[in-house]
Amino acid sequence: MADDPAVYEPPPGPPPLLTFEQIQHLAVQGWLAVDLPADFQQGLYDVSRAASNFFDQSLNEKGAQYPSSRGTECGFYHVPDEKEYVTLRHHVHPESPMEGCARKVWSDAAHFLHRILCDLSRAGDYGVQVWDHLLDGSYDVPQDASDMSDITTLMRLFRYYPTEGIASEHVDIGLLTLGVGDGHGLQMLDRSKSTLEWVDAEGPVVLIGDMARALLNDRVRAGLHRVVGNPSGRSSVVYALRPNIRHPTDLATFGGEGVVDTREYFQRIKGRKYNVNARKDIRERQRQVQRKHKEAEQKAQASQSPDFG
């Protein structure tokens, strides 16, 4: 049977998802409005409804159920007068309605975004297998906190307060992010016109993260976005597909050179940003640190420039 010329191996990776025009839009803009399958949409509705019930509890109850750890990277976090959210990195209460709904959405989102990564690979003449080690263990909610050292993927459930609920403009640090909200406020930078402008998300949006931009050698943009105040407030489900940082990455598979420690590579990207979801005082301190680092880099570059005077 193997010698039968009419028998062919199936193509590697998941089947294509996006059209050429969608891939081009995603690569140039860094974001893309997408349609989701009906069962995926239902799962997102279910997890959003369960999250709403969770947020209706007192701050003390929410903090006790999901203690904050690693700053904003895990558990419940409150930004006074602005927003509150819970970051799911692993199972804490697996039998709870919220985590039960999140479990299915996590898997659906991971497979959906994997297909988009493979579409970007095909468009750039990379093999679809280049993502395999980076997505190891990311298709299901990790069982416990011991996996957090390697699996960086997360789901965040937000409640933005009316009018004051914001997130300043930023790009995400991972591979791809899926954002779905039930109110206005999420905006993406539109680069298609001569004058750049912010456009409102009208439905689910996929954003390219800085890790994917770096790996793909700047052949794609990271999606610049923000959340602006909404008089009615806003709730959203954000699934951030980030790399498994346990395995080394061969940059040659992305058209680059050398093998890098993925953990160090990811931390270097992450360290260049301030946390838009931290408390206001923490954000400001981080901004100041980033500003000083940038000024130091500029001075160092200037001192190395040849003097032709």
Any idea what the CATH number is for the domain that residue 26 is in? Answer: 2.60.120.330
pTM of the model: 0.92
**Residue 18 in contact with residue 116, Cβ under 8 Å?**
yes
Q: What is the DSSP string of 110-154?
A: HHHHHHHHHHHHHHTT--GGGGTTTSTT-SS--SSGGGGGTB--E
The answer to whether residue 268 sits within a structural domain is no
44/102 Cα distance (integer angstroms) = 8
Give me the helices (H) in the chain, please.
Answer: 20-29, 38-55, 59-65, 97-123, 210-215, 262-270, 280-304
Non-local CB neighbours of 297 within 8 Å, separated by 6+ positions: none
The answer to whether residue 272 sits within a structural domain is no
pLDDT in tens, 95-116: 999 999 999 999 999 999 999 9
**Which residue stretches of the chain have pLDDT < 70?**
1-10, 293-298, 300-309
- Residue 5's pLDDT is what? 58
- Count the alpha carbons within 13 Å of 215 in the hemisphere toward its beta carbon: 30
Percent helix, strand and coil across the chain, each to the nearest 5: 35, 20, 40
The answer to whether residue 179 sits within a structural domain is yes
The answer to whether residue 259 sits within a structural domain is no
The answer to whether residue 240 sits within a structural domain is yes
The answer to whether residue 1 sits within a structural domain is no
SS3 233: coil
Q: Write out the residue range of the structural domain in which residue 179 sits.
A: 20-246
pLDDT in tens, 188-199: 999 998 899 999
The answer to whether residue 199 sits within a structural domain is yes
189 dihedral zone (left: phi>0; alpha: psi -120 to 50; beta)? beta
- Residue 300's pLDDT is what? 63
Look at the chain and report how many structural domains it folds into.
1
The answer to whether residue 236 sits within a structural domain is yes
